[in-house]
Structure 1
Amino acid sequence: MPAHAKLAFVASPTPEAQSALSALVAAHGQHEVADADLIVALGGDGFMLQTLHRFGELGKPFYGMKLGTVGFLMNHQELDGLLDRLAQAEPARLRPLEMIATSESGSSVRTLAFNEVSLLRQTRQAAHIAIVLNGKERLEELICDGVMVSAPAGSTAYNFSAGGPILPLDSQTLALTPIAPFRPRRWRGAVLRADTEIRFRVLDGLKRPVSATADSHEVRNVTEVSIREAGDAYGVTLLFDRGHNLEERILAEQFTSG
């Protein structure tokens, strides 16, 4: 990143992030996002995901600084030496998932997810979901609290907490993971090729309603949800401090006990 790079700073509304925003703008100036060479996001992972959804189509690289509770997609907080860090930063290319969700009303919603797409029961009734891969039904009925599809960058988050595998960043795979499965009791999910088309059919949705969430975008009362990896045109580039890139973090996460 050149020393004269035009930076656009965006921050979460927390006092800590807003204080850092003021200090960084005073030191480096502020440019409109559309005119900037790079977007610097100040906050946690949730704010970074919001920023990617909001500005990802502009094709700018993103650099995150952790000023929130969770910061797997962020770099350490350090206000000094930012330009040197950016000059040495290592890129990671993220390709989101594309979700198309059809609701009981017949309307369809298309949206992207950089972490995961999850289906969850809306009431005390367990969800009954059929799973179809590339047009072939693989599981006639999964009885569960829910099920999710995770991209590699999101595999250390909700997916891992639900017992799913951590995926290497360049593995070109997706994790299909059940959430509290009741039947089949021993089914623990699958690792799929990234080009797999995954379709969920909600069974008995009127009695057992299900919602679908792509990152933070929720669609209620879905009847069918299809998921596939979006094309590279929808991808985004994240920058990480040298020696602490996303691939290394994903690998290290598999050897931590905390």
Structure 2
Amino acid sequence: MASAAHSDKGDCALGRIAFVSSQTPEAEAARMRLNARYNGVPEDEADVIVALGGDGLMLQTLHRFRDRGIPIYGMHRGSVGFLMNTYCEDDLVERLAAAQHVRIHPLLMEAMDINGVRHRAPAINEVSLLRQSYQAAKLRISIDGKVRLEELICDGVIVATPAGSTAYNLSAHGPILPLGTNLLALTPISPFRPRRWRGALVPDKVRVDIAVMEAGKRPVSAVADHFEVRNIVAVTARLDTSSAIDMLFDPDHGLEERILHEQFVY
């Protein structure tokens, strides 16, 4: 990446900067200050997006600008900030110029509901199946068309990308996946049968098919990040290499370092 001019006016190698924020007073105030200081431009004129908030805002921003070729640089002005860089209003141009690029590909979820309607949605973090009632879900899991788990009775199951492995997947006691591992984490949520199954790691080139057994008696919803489909009978999740998002991280605290750090946190 070319070096940036030493200026507060947004003329860095990435070009014009647009600022977006969550709706919290803290984040909105930061956006207004930075927008004035760095001559912020409208989103449709930007070469880089600076997102101010927490991981929820970052995930929304990544979805909004997916496949537009505009890198996203997050600064922490929210609660959880795993995907965000440290907040500092000084030297933003220089930080953007020195930032490391990380390209990620989302999962593509295809879900069919009980009426035979098919739904498609991208997932940057994970695709999850969740029980809708007091009844546990009963699922059958296949990998590339071959049944690997005939019956899983559980509260649900997660298919997580490396970028999303520290989100819901980690809360469900799934493994943390460093970037570049070319793996997906398949993690059960509160498994009842088989009791000893704690999940699997599968190559990210495979297709994961999950069939819902007894869908009428045991209703299940499917979620791709923020998009939810209820009363589904089957879900397919696979990596969509035709779609990409570029993220920017400070060199001293990149995403790989954060993932490594998380594995040693008590």
TM-score (norm 2): 0.94
1:151 paired residue among 158, 161, 176: 161
For 2:99, the equivalent position in structure 1 comes to 89
Matches within 5 A, 1:220-239: 220-231=230-241, 233-239=242-248
For 1:250, the equivalent position in structure 2 comes to 259
Determine if the alignment matches structure 1 residue 52 to structure 2 residue 62.
Answer: yes
Counterpart Cα distance in 2 of 1:98 and 1:35: 28
For 2:8, the equivalent position in structure 1 comes to none
For 1:10, the equivalent position in structure 2 comes to 20
For 1:199, the equivalent position in structure 2 comes to 209
Please report how far the alpha carbon of residue 95 of structure 1 lies from its aligned counterpart in structure 2 after TM superposition.
1.1
- CA deviations 1:98-136 (Å, max 9, x no partner) are 100111111111111111111000000000000010000
Matches within 5 A, 1:72-111: 72-111=82-121
Gaps in structure 1 of 5+ consecutive residues: none
For 2:131, the equivalent position in structure 1 comes to 121
- CA deviations 1:2-48 (Å, max 9, x no partner) are 44120011111110010001000110122222221101111111111
Counterpart Cα distance in 2 of 1:240 and 1:119: 31
Counterpart Cα distance in 2 of 1:67 and 1:98: 29
| Bigger shift: residues 163-172 or 27-36 | 27-36
Counterpart Cα distance in 1 of 2:19 and 2:196: 47
Counterpart Cα distance in 1 of 2:78 and 2:243: 26
Q: Is the 8 A contact 1:100 1:226 kept in 2?
A: yes
For 2:36, the equivalent position in structure 1 comes to 26
RMSD across aligned C-alpha pairs, in angstroms?
0.9
Counterpart Cα distance in 2 of 1:29 and 1:123: 51
Determine if the alignment matches structure 1 residue 142 to structure 2 residue 152.
Answer: yes
Counterpart Cα distance in 1 of 2:65 and 2:96: 19
Q: Is the 8 A contact 1:99 1:227 kept in 2?
A: yes
- CA deviations 1:32-80 (Å, max 9, x no partner) are 2222110111111111111111111211000001111011111011111
One-letter amino acid of the structure 1 residue matched with residue 230 of structure 2: R
